[in-house]
Amino acid sequence: MATTDPPIRLRRPLAARVATSLRPALWVGPAVALIVVVVLWPVIVLVHSSLQNIAADGYVVGGAGGRNFSTLWHEPALKGVVLRTVIWVVAVVGVTLLLSLALAQLFHQRFPLRRLARTALIAPWAASVMMTALIFRWALDPNVGAVNIILHALGLMHRLGSNQSDWLGRPGWALVWMMVVAIFVSLPFTTYALLSGLQTIPGEVYEAARVDGAGRWHCYRTITLPLLRPAILVATTINVINVFNSFPIIWEMTRGGPGYETSTTTTFMYILKQSFIGEAAAMSVVNFALVIVVVLFFLKVTRWKEQVT
């Protein structure tokens, strides 16, 4: 704020000053408006809906106070759904991270056709998640699925069309296969995030460590991983949010399974929405709060501010 004006000069009229000061809003305005309309306003409507009594055809009958939340709390399926969601997120994000660390390390080396391999890695990310889930569902078909036919040919599957070959009919195995699909579609992004992190680590650090006599595994543990922390942080946060909200994989493969036996909180909310809109809104509010809490907790624990500055 350069004070080029002489101190005795009168200030400009208020209207002019307001107009000038609002000029930055012209640049910031559209982005802020977008955030308000697309993010904030739906959240407000969501919380409002969760406190209403809404009939199954969409008519707002009146206020419901906390009744939607208490009905949700007493749903017998809720405990299983929440437990399954925790297992789903932890397993998918954890395995994705481990595999991506390995893949990023691999793609960091020089080998022939590396560029081609790196480009091919984008395919699961670029393909529609719903299509990937559908393809896997057909591959797991008890009678004609590709996976079952291969297993049968290898002698690992006794009979096609049996209980054993109906992977998606058994809630436990259905969850495992859905996690496989989720990991498959999460790998590209995580690998690329970690790869770019690896590429920012200067080579001199490794030279210095080697001069001091550090072994390869020791190098990895004490140099690579700590320096990768920002990238791991970003990848994990985004993965947790995406996997928690993941809908197409579960919906296309089992529709939440017999009853709610393969549902996570997201598909549970969607199934509830068909008949009990207020309760589904309450579940959405809980989901939203959960994901914010998890991300904030994660960021606090890893002291993210220190990484960024």
Partner 1 sequence: MRQRLFATAVAALAAALAVAACGSSSSGSGGSGGSGASGGSTTLKLVAADYGTGPSNTSAKYWQGIANAFHKANPSITVKVTVVPWTNFDSEIQTDVQNHNFPDITEGDYFSDYAQQGLLYPANQVMSDPGRLLGVFKKQGTYNGVQYGMPFTTSTRTLFYNKKIFAKAGIGKAPTTWAAVKADAAKIKAKGYIGFGLPLGPEEAQAESLLWFLGDGGNYQNAQGKWTINSPQNIAAFNFLKGMVSAGDTEPHPGTQDRTPLWEQFAQGKIGMINGSPALVPIIQQGGVLKSSDWASVPIAGKSGPLTKTLGVCDNVAAFKPNGHGAEIKKFLDFAYQTKYQLQFDHEYDLLPATTAAANKLSSSPLYGSFIKALPGSVQYPSDTAWAQVKTQVQNQIGTAVTGNPTSVLGSLQSTAEKQGSQ
Residues that bind partner 1 (CB under 8 A): 1, 17-18, 20-22, 24-25, 32-33, 36, 41, 45, 55-59, 76, 142-143, 159, 161-163, 165-166, 168-170, 254-259, 261, 271, 274-275, 277
Determine the residue type at 280: A
* CA-derived radius of gyration, the chain: 26
Q: Which residue has the tokens 């480009």?
A: 119
Distance CA 102, CA 107 (A): 9
Determine the residue type at 81: V
Pick 42 or 66: Cβ nearer partner 1: 42
Measured in degrees and rounded to the nearest 5, phi and psi for residue 208 equal: -60, -40
Burial class of residue 247 in the structure, from the number of CB atoms within 10 Å of its CB (0-12 exposed, 13-18 middle, 19+ buried): middle
Helix (H, G, I), strand (E, B) or coil at 28: helix
Q: Are strands 60-63 and 52-54 parallel, antiparallel or unpaired?
A: antiparallel
Pick 7 or 58: Cβ nearer partner 1: 58
Distance CA 23, CA 26 (A): 5
Pick 224 or 264: Cβ nearer partner 1: 264
Distance CA 108, CA 118 (A): 10
Pick 188 or 257: Cβ nearer partner 1: 257
CB contact at 8 A, 288 and 299: no
Q: How far is the CB of 254 from partner 1 (least distance, A)?
A: 7
Q: Please, what's the b/e burial string for 171-196 (b: 16 or more CB within 10 A of its CB; e: otherwise)?
A: beebbebbbebbbbbbbbbbbbbbbe
Residue 285 has a CB neighbour count (10 Å cut-off) of 20
CA-nearest of 121, 139, 144 to 177 is 139
Pick 52 or 105: Cβ nearer partner 1: 52
Q: How far is the CB of 258 from partner 1 (least distance, A)?
A: 3
| Secondary structure of 191-232 as H, E, C letters | HHHHHHHHHCCCHHHHHHHHHCCCCHHHHHHHHHHHHCHHHH
